[in-house]
Structure 1
Amino acid sequence: MTYQTALHNFLENSQKYREQEFLHQPISGVWHTFSFTEVEQQARKIASGLINQGFEQGDRIGILSKNCAEWFIVDLAIMMAGMISVPIYSTAGAKTIRYVIEHSAMKAMFIGKLDSFEATQAGVSDDLLTISFPYPTLSCKESWLNWLNTYSPLENIHMSALDDCMSIVYTSGTTGDPKGVMISYLNLASAARSTCESIEVTRNDRFVSYLPLAHITERSVVECAAFDSAMQVYFVEGLDTFIDDLQHASPTCFLSVPRLWAKFQAQIFVKMPAKKLKLLLSLPIIGKQVAKKIRKKLGLSATRVFACGSAPIAISLLDWYQKLGINISEGWGMTETSGLSCGNFPFKVSMLGTIGVPVECVEMKLSEQQEILIRGDAVFKQYYLNPEATAQEFTDDWFHTGDKGEISNDGAFKIVGRIKEQFKTSKGKYVVPVPIEGMLCRNSSIEQVCVMGLGLKQPIALVVLGEGIDRHDKIIQQGLLATIKEVNNELESHQRLDFIYVCGDAWDIENELLTPTLKLKRASIEQFYSAKLPQNDKNKVVVEP
């Protein structure tokens, strides 16, 4: 397949659809719309600003902000100037921010919308040029609005080759320092094009950009797919306005992560108990009306494609959403594979619980150890300044994903765990935690779960209950007891859970028990709770005081 760079795609669409609405940004409850022409002109001015600072082609420029229209614009500007973008999660700690700045030899950083300024303040050195987005943010040396008023649009845009490095994306890192993944224009162009073809994206589609743009999936599936297809993109102002913003955008395609799909379910149950809802949904006519009303309340009444990625989602949750007319397609990818690499697109019930089949720009297979291997246009070539890690992860041109998989008869891949996540109990038996965690999530009260057991006689499960659910409620505990008995009956003897430990607080990015992409930091979770766990407790459900 022939590809064009993200910048080339954008400029081509900008010429075709000059005044078409492209980006929609809410500010203090008021929606501001950017046409293609406005986005292009602002990007050209910011590119002039970068060049006027004396920066050269290939210099690394950081972006640290929550999602907003300016994120897209500055990414285009960095491309126009021939420089390399280095995104950083808006939730990153000071240590990570400092590491990425130093490791990438960053020359400047754009700083925008943040929930907290402390980590950024501590992580950004005084000698780094900082430019503020037009929102309340950290005090910076330069400002976005000043650059727009000072510099003329750049006339001679740098047009990079497909093999050139477009961005260095640092992995969220469940352990150790993040690695800088060198993403080429070809990598993102192929991933974005394959996404558009897999879900048949057109310029009439509407996406909501709220998952971190510092993460490769949002970058390829939303941003670069928008440059490719000319679809419209809506941003959200904050968590408190999320549903209102979603209703305003009325997306035709909606991507989320397992934890947010679980939270949506919990919010629905708060307004209507699970048993009552189950009864209503079972009624032929009333059920369809109730499902339609729920989709409308969520802002998803116009959505034709529902997707989930980043981490495994319980098949019981997928089944439950089907009853609402929400067919969630699972997708899979990594930073190293430039986002979506495999997906259940178009949605097939027979592939429920799998990550579907590879997209056109890659091919996948299993190694003798059942590890998923991948190669193709979307797969990166090297880690930045880390040839040792690069060599370790490749066999010839096949990249070792670290995910353990299975392939069904219809060619769909299923992830059954991480190669390095399996642990050995004191009995010398290996246990893979992910399938057991999925089984426990049949209980809709459970929002987060981590199965652990390194060195223990039997595995145990740490769980966090959904928002508003009282962990001391005897009925809830009885439900958990029934769940552990049901799950244990399906497991081999060495896999059976000794007990469930119900945690008092949710795991999140702030307490450093989740990565910025909401993956479990297993080692951190185990370390945090190890001293709290009971020894030889005979109760199957133990509640944190």
Structure 2
Amino acid sequence: GVMLSHENLLADVNSSEYSFPVKAYDKALSFLPACHAYERVFQYVYIKMGLPIYFAQSMDTIGQDMKEVQPHIFSAVPRVLEKVYDKIMATGEQLTGVKRALFFWAISLGEQYDLDESKLSAWYKFQLNIARKLIFSKWKAALGGNVKGIASGSATLQTRLLKLYLAAGIPIYEGYGLTEAGPCLSVNCIKRGMKIGTVGIPLIDIEIKLAEDGEILAKGKNIMQGYYKNPVATAEVLKDGWLYTGDIGEWVDDKFLKIIDRKKEMFKTSGGKYVVPQQIEKILSESNYIEQIMVVGEGRKFPAALVIPSYENCIDWAKTNESSLINLPREEFLTHPKIYELIGNEINKLNINFGNWEKIKKFHLLSYEFTIEAGELTPTLKMKRKIVSEKYKKEIDGIYQ
């Protein structure tokens, strides 16, 4: 249990407030668990800034609630933003003729977006304005039409996805923190600077430095008192006023913080090579046919993966390529040799981004998504790697046999 005092929370509220792109009486929508420090501190900032907070009815009604509330701001996790994107893409796949061509033209344009406008040609900007009016305006309408900013945290957001949202004129403020830090430490925001692929600049009144091995250390009035009734664990992470976060980072342009991976989640193969699973998962999950993925391989000859294919997107693929598969039960469909071949081709295409020791050599397909209810995800939809590894030990061992 992390002990956060009133001073810790208020300090983080004061540090975070400057980065919020809203004003009093703007509307905030809340749907993440309020028992989590991330959403709790956001609620405190809303209160301090004078924003009315609307609470979603459930995770299943978020789309409907956004249209009703028309919020100016809300906090999300990458999984939620991925789901919104998937629904938009599914709609685009159903279009025909000119409408379909325009939709995918806009998507292609968005993937080339850069925050540094000097890198964008006048012709690109002209096309982007057209895309925003014809296509991306519908994205904004799906989020209520008034969004000034969406905070994304808890896990890394795909770079491709971030570019698309920003190109659509939907500001995503990707940040970084952990409960022990109250929880927010840094953020990408318009007021202080943004850089795609990083988690932004340290918040006001919070110090961040990197240890010799790249571990991120933080100091400020927002740092926890310690772990409840656990002085040994407290002493391991609190040293000379600095919080040792357990995350590995690096500086980009000497001011933007980039997260490489969880120190504890990095692993070595039997050949002694370090593998950073989150970085590999981030790239591979850019495939439209991969819903979820977890890289495994500690102490093994090579990294492998548990993969949950995107059922809807694989069905769409089958309609055109293997129509005989469509009527198969879900489990039989997602583990069919043709789907293995499809996912294998996707992984091989994306493996080009990695060194030989990092490439996914083999994988096992699962039929159902990891969920909070099954204990495989945290309330903010992060994977509980240890639990997933234990639950699917047989399948993982099978990969290497």
Query: TM-score higher than 0.5 here?
Result: yes
Task: Give per-residue Cα distances to partners, 1:121-158, cap 9 Å, x unaligned.
Answer: xxxxxxxxxxxxxxxxxxxxxxxxxxxxxxxxxxxxxx
Residue in 2 that maps onto 1:445:
289
Please, which moves more after superposition, 473-482 or 242-251? 473-482
Shift of 1:448: 1.9
Compare CA radii of gyration and give the structure with the larger one: 1
Amino acid at match of 2:166: Q
1:530–1:302 distance in 2 versus 1, CA, 3 Å: same
Q: Which residue pairs with 2:104 in the alignment?
A: 278
The aligned residue for residue 506 of structure 1 is: 369
State how far apart, in whole Å, the 2-side matches of 1:347 and 1:487 are: 35
Aligned partner of 2:67 among 247, 251, 254:
247
The one-letter code sitting in structure 2 at the alignment partner of 1:291 is: F
Q: Which runs of 4+ in 1 moved over 4 A?
A: 280-284, 347-350, 472-479
- Residue 353 of structure 2 corresponds to 490
Are the structure 2 counterparts of residues 366 and 289 from structure 1 closer, same or farther at C-alpha, using a change threshold of 3 Å? same
Residue 525 (1) aligns with residue 345 (2)? no
- Do the aligned partners of 1:321 and 1:327 also contact (CA within 8 Å) in 2? yes
Alpha-carbon spacing, 1:254–1:445, altered in 2? closer, same or farther (3 Å): farther
Shift of 1:397: 0.4
SS of 1:511 mapped into structure 2: coil
- Given the superposition, is the C-alpha separation of residues 475 and 411 from structure 1 closer, same or farther in structure 2, using an over 3 Å criterion? farther
Q: One-letter code of the match for 2:362?
A: F
User: C-alpha distance in 2, partners of 1:474/1:310?
Assistant: 35
Match of 1:267 in 2: 87
Within the candidate set 208, 220, 225, 2:41 is matched to 220
> Could you tell me how far apart the structure 1 residues matched to 2:133 and 2:339 are?
29
Offset, 1:500: 3.0
The one-letter amino acid paired with 1:464 is I
User: Hey, what does 1:424 align to over in structure 2?
Assistant: 268
Distance 1:476 1:418, change over 3 A: same
Contact 1:255 1:308 in 2 (8 A): yes
Q: State the aligned residue count.
A: 356
CA, structure 1 residues 287+199, in 2 after alignment: closer, same or farther (shift >3 Å)? Answer: closer
Tell me what 2:117 maps to. none
The 5-angstrom pairing of residues 358-373 of structure 1 reads 358-373=202-217
1:45-56 mapped onto 2 (5 Å cutoff): none
Partner of 2:242: 398
- Whether the aligned pair in 1 keeps the contact of 2:268 and 2:299 (CA below 8 Å) is yes
Deviation at 1:502, TM superposition (A): 2.4
SS of the equivalent of 2:208 reads strand
The aligned residue for residue 2 of structure 2 is 181
Answer whether contact 1:263 1:467 (CA < 8 A) is retained: no
Retained in 2: the 8 A contact 1:306–1:327? yes
The answer to whether the Cα contact below 8 Å between 2:8 and 2:224 also exists between their aligned partners in 1 is yes
Greater share of helix: 2
Q: Which moved more, 1:395-404 or 1:454-463?
A: 454-463
* 1:372 to partner: Cα distance: 0.3
Matches within 5 A, 1:59-458: 180-221=1-42, 223-273=43-93, 276=101, 277-281=103-107, 282=109, 285=130, 287-299=132-144, 301-346=145-190, 351-458=195-302
Per-residue deviation, 1:246: 1.3
Distance, in Å, in 2 between the alignment partners of 1:418 and 1:315 is 18
What is the letter of the counterpart of residue 88 of structure 2? I
Deviation at 1:286, TM superposition (A): 5.0
In structure 1, the residue corresponding to 2:28 is in which secondary structure? strand
Contact 2:181–2:222, Cα closer than 8 Å, also in 1: yes
Give yes or no for contact 1:259–1:448 (8 Å, CA) kept in 2: no
Shift of 1:507: 0.4
Give SS of 1:507's match: coil
Q: Does 427-436 or 450-459 show the bigger shift?
A: 427-436
Cα distance change on mapping 1:497 and 1:386 into 2, 3 Å: same
CA deviation string 1:262-299 (max 9, x = no partner): 11111112222197532255565255321111221232
Shifted more, 347-356 versus 455-464: the winner is 347-356
How far apart are the structure 2 equivalents of 1:201 and 1:286?
Answer: 26
Provide the C-alpha distance between the structure 1 equivalents of 2:194 and 2:286, rounded to a whole number of angstroms: 19
Whole-Å separation in 2 of the counterparts to 1:427 and 1:344:
38
- 1:398 & 1:354 partners in 2: Cα distance? 22
- Within 1, Cα distance between the matches of 2:160 and 2:202? 24
Q: Give, in angstroms, the shift of residue 518 of structure 1.
A: 1.2
Q: How far did 1:342 drift? A: 0.5
- Cα deviations by residue, 1:48-105 (Å, 9 ceiling, x for unpaired): xxxxxxxxxxxxxxxxxxxxxxxxxxxxxxxxxxxxxxxxxxxxxxxxxxxxxxxxxx
Is the CA contact (8 Å cut-off) linking 1:196 and 1:225 kept in structure 2? yes
Q: Secondary structure at the match of 2:300?
A: coil
Q: Note the aligned Cα RMSD (angstroms).
A: 2.3
**What do residues 346-394 of structure 1 show as CA deviations (whole Å, max 9, x unaligned)?**
2789611111011013110100110000010111122221111111111
1:440–1:484 Cα contact (<8 Å) kept = yes
- Rounded Cα–Cα distance in structure 2 between residues aligned with 1:452 and 1:351: 30
Q: Is the 8 A contact 1:266 1:466 kept in 2?
A: no
What is the DSSP-based 3-state SS (H/G/I as helix, E as strand, rest coil) of the residue aligned with 2:347?
Answer: helix
Given residue 30 of structure 2, which amino acid in structure 1 is its aligned partner? S
Q: How much does 1:479 deviate?
A: 5.1
The answer (yes or no) to whether the contact 1:403–1:419 under 8 Å persists in 2 is yes
Q: Is the Cα–Cα contact under 8 Å of residues 191 and 339 in structure 1 kept in the other structure?
A: yes
State how far apart, in whole Å, the 2-side matches of 1:350 and 1:209 are.
24
Counterpart for residue 128 of structure 1: none
Distance 1:279 1:345, change over 3 A: same
Q: How far did residue 469 of structure 1 move?
A: 3.3
Which structure is higher in RCO with an 8 Å CA cutoff and minimum separation 6? Answer: 2
1:414 Cα deviation from its structure 2 partner: 0.9
CA–CA distance in structure 2, aligned partners of residues 536 and 393 of structure 1: 36
2:324 aligned residue: none
Provide the C-alpha distance between the structure 1 equivalents of 2:131 and 2:227, rounded to a whole number of angstroms: 55
Q: Distance in 2 between matches of 1:347 and 1:423?
A: 37
- Code of the aligned partner of 1:341: L
Question: Counterparts of 1:246 and 1:501 in 2: how far apart (Å)?
Answer: 37
SS in 2 for 1:414: strand
Judging changes above 3 Å, is the alpha-carbon distance between structure 1 residues 319 and 515 closer, same or farther for their aligned structure 2 residues? same
The alignment's TM-score, normalised by the length of structure 2, stands at: 0.82
8 A contact 2:194–2:200 mirrored in 1? no
Distance 1:425 1:506, change over 3 A: same
